[in-house]
């Protein structure tokens, strides 16, 4: 039982770390020496993404909101898990933590899917010939990790 618990905690910490890295770091889109994240385009200096506050960049704002919400949910889920670990009676499941983790996985999937489908709509014309960066890949890697940890919380019972 302790081994399963240790793996779940490890999955959760890895998921939270990858979410922080993918949301904060500036490599969602790479075009030459220009790295673009959800807020800035950077070479040696960083500039805000053009028209990111306008309605033309509504997809970008949806990705920003989904990834921030996923990061917050992942952190809240970990704290709820710690509380439930010491407060639940034996034999009860970590259902609330599982729901939070599954919502986190859903937010990551929505954010990364929107970025995949609509990244050209908010990229400047000179940056459209780039490729996806490692932060984008980390976001997609985080999706199955959070989904798996949410399902494991749903299955896990508190035992002796």
Q: How many domains does the chain have?
A: 1
> Per residue in 66-108, pLDDT tens?
999 999 999 999 999 988 888 877 667 788 889 999 999 999 9
- Asked whether residue 48 is assigned to any structural domain, the reply reads yes
- Asked whether residue 160 is assigned to any structural domain, the reply reads no
Q: Are 23 and 82 in contact (CB under 8 A)?
A: no
Residue 112 sits in a domain of what CATH number?
Answer: 1.20.140.150
SS3 39: coil
> Per residue in 136-155, pLDDT tens?
899 999 999 999 989 888 88
What's residue 91's pLDDT?
63
- Asked whether residue 68 is assigned to any structural domain, the reply reads yes
Q: What mean pLDDT is predicted for residues 55-60? A: 77
CA distance 67 to 91: 34
pLDDT tier at 113, thresholds 50, 70, 90: very high
What's residue 158's pLDDT?
61
- Determine whether 66 is exposed, middle or buried from the number of CB atoms within 10 Å of its CB (0-12, 13-18, 19+): buried
Q: Residue 139 is part of which domain span?
A: 2-155
What's residue 41's pLDDT?
78
- Asked whether residue 126 is assigned to any structural domain, the reply reads yes
How many residues are there in the chain?
160
Name residues whose C-beta falls within 8 Å of residue 54's C-beta, 6 or more positions apart in sequence: none
What's residue 88's pLDDT?
77
What's residue 48's pLDDT?
76
Q: What is the DSSP letter of 88?
A: S
- Asked whether residue 29 is assigned to any structural domain, the reply reads yes
Q: How far is CA 30 from CA 42, 68, 133, 136, 140, in A?
A: 10, 21, 6, 10, 16
- Asked whether residue 9 is assigned to any structural domain, the reply reads yes
- Asked whether residue 71 is assigned to any structural domain, the reply reads yes
- Asked whether residue 60 is assigned to any structural domain, the reply reads yes
pLDDT tier at 53, thresholds 50, 70, 90: confident
> Can you give the pTM of this predicted structure?
0.87
> Per residue in 15-33, pLDDT tens?
999 999 998 887 888 887 8
């Amino acid at each position: 039982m302790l081994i399963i618990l240790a793996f779940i905690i490890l999955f959760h910490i890895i998921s939270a770390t990858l979410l922080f890295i993918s949301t904060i770091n500036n490599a969602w889109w790479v075009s030459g020496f220009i790295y673009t994240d959800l807020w800035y385009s950077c070479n040696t200096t960083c500039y805000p993404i053009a028209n990111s506050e306008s309605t033309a960049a509504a997809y970008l704002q949806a990705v920003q909101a989904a990834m921030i919400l996923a990061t917050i949910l992942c952190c809240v889920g970990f704290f709820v898990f710690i509380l439930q670990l010491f407060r639940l009676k034996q034999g009860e499941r970590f259902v609330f933590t599982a729901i939070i983790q599954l919502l986190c996985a859903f937010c990551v999937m929505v954010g990364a899917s929107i970025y995949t489908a609509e990244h050209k709509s908010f990229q400047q014309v000179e940056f459209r010939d780039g490729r996806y960066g490692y932060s984008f890949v980390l976001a997609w890697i985080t999706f199955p990790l959070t989904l798996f940890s949410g399902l494991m919380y749903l299955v896990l019972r508190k035992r002796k």
